[in-house]
């Protein structure tokens, strides 16, 4: 479904991704962790073309991703993204936030778009917030709306870029619960997060990155108990000791 | 405030020292109002006594006829009101042109394409560095004969172009003020750049643009007075005409100034009302 082959990415002189080769199967849930600045966000932002890699081949859903590709707009409809800062549209109500993509991009009739929007708002457990503006919602609710917004596009892949990092601790679980439910539906998910409890529960594959390289790729049973690299072991000890 | 808002509350902490007596007096509203009245009074008295000293013959009673007249034919609007109407039509047309041109300039500038950015910056610097009066002469005496348009078209083009560069900067600032995450969110649901502008970025940037845009409307109404130098019929030209007929220069210029002031004040108040409503909707 997603395949990186020897992908490199630079920001000016900074070598952000170094020779990345990894693939994600349809329905696979991959969790990526690593220290800040290790290239995790850059990696998933390349998948839907928010950033473009400089060399190597990246194919998503059979389509090659590169800057200037004619297919990129169509591809983005198939790849939803949830951001750390939610990025809801503040001038639109919750319902309109969910409807604008289907209506303007997928050319769905209004009535159908509203039906879809309400369905997914139910799915993230906040149907009663439909007519409010995002600013009136808590962080956890906003992030759930953001997830619903991606779902409304009926995307086949969902990318999560540290979805709970900007949330107050008591709101993290309501978002993670929604993500676990999503995982159970068989959605292909690539999640950058440090929520190891969530990772243990849903991940098929764990990835550890450092300094732009993929250091470790293993199933969670091995990743958490017996990682092959010392650096990964140290990282896990640091974030799990609390 | 040093005292507790509710006298039932017993404050345990020590009371803080009050500001000095002088500072208390200077900060008071009464003092400000008195000082303001004094300064305005001095200016008005100076102007009035100066006019008296030169033996100016005030004829305020002759002014109202230029606003309206009650003749045998019935009620008629006076020259000043007609002139004001022409000023508003002229400014309105020029402002519409300026907004369209300004948006195009701003989008060219933000397009990220080297050629478009260069064209936009070049145009901006060219217009911004020519005095409005010279620009008007260029549009009327040079471009007018070449392209065969009249003085009225020249005025609208000149004002429109001059203000478009100012407005393009307002657009640019407003668009840049919208968070980068909004672009990313719009992009990630598959919107094209045009759709992201149309549905996500521009609607949000209006909030940032309204206050400076108000200033620009007021500025436009005021700078439209300059077209009186090529004798386009509008408020200032009418004022000059009336004065050359009646020699009442003091009364008429005061009146014209007051009319401009009333119009621009109404515009400012009106737009700030719109701003408030827009802010509540958010």
Tell me the percentage of chain B whose pLDDT exceeds 90: 35
Chain B contact for A88, CB < 8 A?
yes
B229 in contact with A, Cβ within 8 Å? no
Distance from the A227 Cα atom to the nearest Cα atom in chain B, whole angstroms: 34
Query: Nearest 5 degrees, angle CA B184-CA B185-CA B186?
Result: 90
Of A147-161, A195-209, B50-64, minimum mean pLDDT range? B50-64
Among A15-19, A230-234, B70-74, B169-173, which is the least confidently predicted range?
Answer: B70-74
Q: How far apart are CA A190 and CA A194, in angstroms?
A: 13
Given B182, B188, B195, which is nearest A89 (Cβ)?
B182
- pLDDT band, residue B62 (cuts 50/70/90): confident
User: What was the pLDDT predicted at B270?
Assistant: 84
Residue A111 has pLDDT above 90, yes or no: yes
- In this predicted structure, the answer to whether residue B282 has a pLDDT above a threshold of 70 is no
Given a cut of 60, whether residue B227 has pLDDT beyond it is: yes
Higher pLDDT, A147 or B1: A147
Are B189 and A80 within 8 A, CB to CB?
yes
Does residue B5 have a pLDDT over 80?
no
Nearest-CB residue to B181 (from A49, A85, A104)? A85
pLDDT single digits (tens) B269-280:
887 787 777 665
Q: Residue B1: which pLDDT band, with cuts at 50, 70 and 90?
A: very low
Question: Does B184 sit within 8 Å of A50, measured CB to CB?
Answer: yes
| Residue B63 in this model has a pLDDT that exceeds 90 | no
pTM, two decimals, is: 0.76
Nearest-CA residue of chain A relative to B191?
A105
B chain contacts of residue A90, beta-carbon cutoff 8 Å = 204, 282
Q: What is the mean pLDDT of chain A?
A: 92
Instruction: Supply the pLDDT for residue A214.
Output: 93
List CB contacts (< 8 A) between B202 and chain A. Answer: none
Query: What band does A147 get if pLDDT is binned at 50, 70 and 90?
Result: very high
Q: CA-CA distance, A17 to A211, in Å (whole number)?
A: 8
DSSP B40-89: HHHHHHHHHHHHHHTT----GGGSGGGTEEEETTEEEE-HHHHHHHHHHH
Per-residue pLDDT, averaged over B56-69, amounts to 79
Average pLDDT over residues B40-67: 84
For residues B68-76, give the mean pLDDT.
78
pLDDT for residue B230 is more than 90: no
Residue contact B188–A50, C-beta within 8 A: yes
User: Encoding tokens for residue B186?
Assistant: 């719009």
Do A21 and A7 touch, CB atoms closer than 8 A? yes
Digit-coded pLDDT (tens) for B146-179: 998 888 899 999 999 999 999 999 999 999 999 8
Pick from A43, A40, A142: nearest CA to A93: A142
Q: What are B90-147's pLDDT values in tens digits?
A: 999 999 999 999 999 999 998 888 999 999 999 999 999 999 999 999 999 998 889 9
Which residue matches tokens 């050629």?
B115
- Report helix, strand or coil for A187: coil
Q: How far is CA B217 from the centre of its chain?
A: 4
Least confident of A115-124, B16-25, B31-40, B127-136: B16-25
- For the residues A172-195, what does the mean pLDDT come to? 92
> At residue B70, does pLDDT exceed 80?
no
Give the per-residue pLDDT at B213. Answer: 87
User: How is residue B234 annotated by DSSP?
Assistant: S
Phi, psi of A117 (to 5 degrees): -60, -45
DSSP string for A127-154: GGGTTS-GGGS-HHHHHHHHHHHHHHTT
pLDDT of residue B27: 83
């Amino acid at each position: 479904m997603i395949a990186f082959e020897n992908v490199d990415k630079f920001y000016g002189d900074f070598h952000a991704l170094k020779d990345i080769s990894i693939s994600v199967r349809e329905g696979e849930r991959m969790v990526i962790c690593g220290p800040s600045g290790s290239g995790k966000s850059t990696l998933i932002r390349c998948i839907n073309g928010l950033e473009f890699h400089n060399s190597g081949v990246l194919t998503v859903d059979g389509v090659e991703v590169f800057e200037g590709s004619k297919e990129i707009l169509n591809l983005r409809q198939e790849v939803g993204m949830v951001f750390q800062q939610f990025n809801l549209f503040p001038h639109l109500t919750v319902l309109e936030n969910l409807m604008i993509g289907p209506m303007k991009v997928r050319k769905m009739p209004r009535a159908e778009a509203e039906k879809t929007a309400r369905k997914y708002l139910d799915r993230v457990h906040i149907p009663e917030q439909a007519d409010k503006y995002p600013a009136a919602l808590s962080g956890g609710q906003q992030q759930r709306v953001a997830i619903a917004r991606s779902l409304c596009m009926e995307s086949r892949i969902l990318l999560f870029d540290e979805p709970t990092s900007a949330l107050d601790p008591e709101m993290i679980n309501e978002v993670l619960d929604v993500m676990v439910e999503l995982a159970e539906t068989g959605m292909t998910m690539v999640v950058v997060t440090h929520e190891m409890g969530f990772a243990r529960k849903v991940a098929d594959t764990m990835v550890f990155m450092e300094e732009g390289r993929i250091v470790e790729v293993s199933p969670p049973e091995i990743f958490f108990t017996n990682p092959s690299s010392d650096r990964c072991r140290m990282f896990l000890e640091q974030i799990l000791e609390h | 405030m040093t005292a507790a808002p509710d006298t039932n509350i017993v404050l345990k902490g020590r009371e803080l020292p009050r500001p000095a007596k002088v500072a208390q007096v200077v900060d008071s509203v009464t003092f400000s109002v008195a000082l303001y009245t004094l300064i305005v009074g001095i200016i008005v008295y100076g102007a009035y006594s100066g006019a008296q000293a030169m033996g100016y013959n005030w004829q305020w009673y002759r002014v109202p006829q230029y606003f309206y007249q009650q003749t045998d034919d019935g009620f008629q609007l006076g020259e000043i009101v007609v002139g004001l109407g022409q000023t508003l039509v002229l400014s309105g047309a020029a402002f519409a042109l300026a907004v369209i041109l300004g948006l195009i300039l701003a989008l060219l500038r933000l397009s990220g394409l080297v050629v478009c950015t260069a064209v936009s910056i070049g145009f901006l610097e060219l217009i911004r560095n020519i005095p409005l009066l010279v620009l008007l002469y260029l549009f009327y005496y040079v471009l007018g004969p070449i392209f065969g348009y009249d003085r009225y078209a020249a005025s609208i083009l000149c004002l429109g172009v001059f203000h478009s560069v100012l407005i393009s900067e307002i657009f640019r600032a407003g668009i840049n003020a919208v968070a980068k995450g909004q672009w990313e969110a719009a992009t990630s649901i598959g919107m094209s750049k045009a759709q992201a502008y149309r549905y996500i970025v521009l609607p949000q940037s209006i909030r940032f643009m309204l206050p400076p845009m108000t200033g620009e409307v007021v500025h436009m109404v005021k700078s439209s007075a300059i077209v009186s130098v090529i004798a386009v019929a509008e408020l200032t030209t009418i004022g000059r005409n009336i004065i050359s007929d009646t020699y009442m220069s003091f009364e008429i210029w005061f009146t014209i100034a007051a009319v401009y002031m009333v119009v621009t004040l109404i515009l400012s108040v009106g737009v700030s009302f719109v701003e408030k409503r827009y802010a509540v909707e958010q």
